[in-house]
Amino acid sequence: MSGGTSTMITDLLTRETLLSDVSCDSWQELVDVAGAPLVEAGSVTPEFLASIKETVERYGSYMVVVDDIALFHGRPEAGAERIALSLALLEHPVYLNDARITAAFVLAATDNDSHIDLMRELATGLGDEHLLELLRTNGSPDEILATFTRMEHTHEES
């Protein structure tokens, strides 16, 4: 992919893939709930979500990338049909070992390179205090989408 055509967060995160007021009893259930829109859209297979859970069980809580925010991801060959991203905002936190989770992204990539720009954009977003506050407090989906849109426009101009 060359300049300007890379997939942006706002291409993937929509009112269909951003779930608010989610109630889960465990991080495992959270993976299933957060990943459900991607399965329904045919972006990933149910096996992809199972592989995320296996990876977390094997390697621990490294997918909680900043306090309270998880970025669940799996290997492309585990059932990622296309690049995709979803986000679930929780009413009440769930715990992965000692790590508290109030919001979780599920990221699917079809190879090891296509999602690098997306990861960079996500990293920028997770450095934004306003966005983090929204993610940690089951904030407004529209405001979260607007924040990502604003960050993308700022990035394009710089």
Each residue of 88-102: pLDDT tens digit?
Answer: 999 999 999 999 999
Q: What is the pTM of this model?
A: 0.93
Confidence of residue 113 (pLDDT cuts 50, 70, 90): confident
Each residue of 20-54: pLDDT tens digit?
Answer: 999 999 999 999 999 999 999 999 999 999 999 99
C-beta contacts of 109-117 below 8 A and 24+ residues apart: 109/73, 109/76, 109/80, 109/83, 110/76, 110/80, 110/81, 110/82, 110/83, 111/76, 112/76, 114/1, 114/7, 114/83, 115/7, 115/83, 117/1, 117/6, 117/7, 117/8
Confidence of residue 135 (pLDDT cuts 50, 70, 90): very high
Q: Tell me, what's the pLDDT at 155?
A: 73
Q: What mean pLDDT do residues 75-97 have?
A: 95
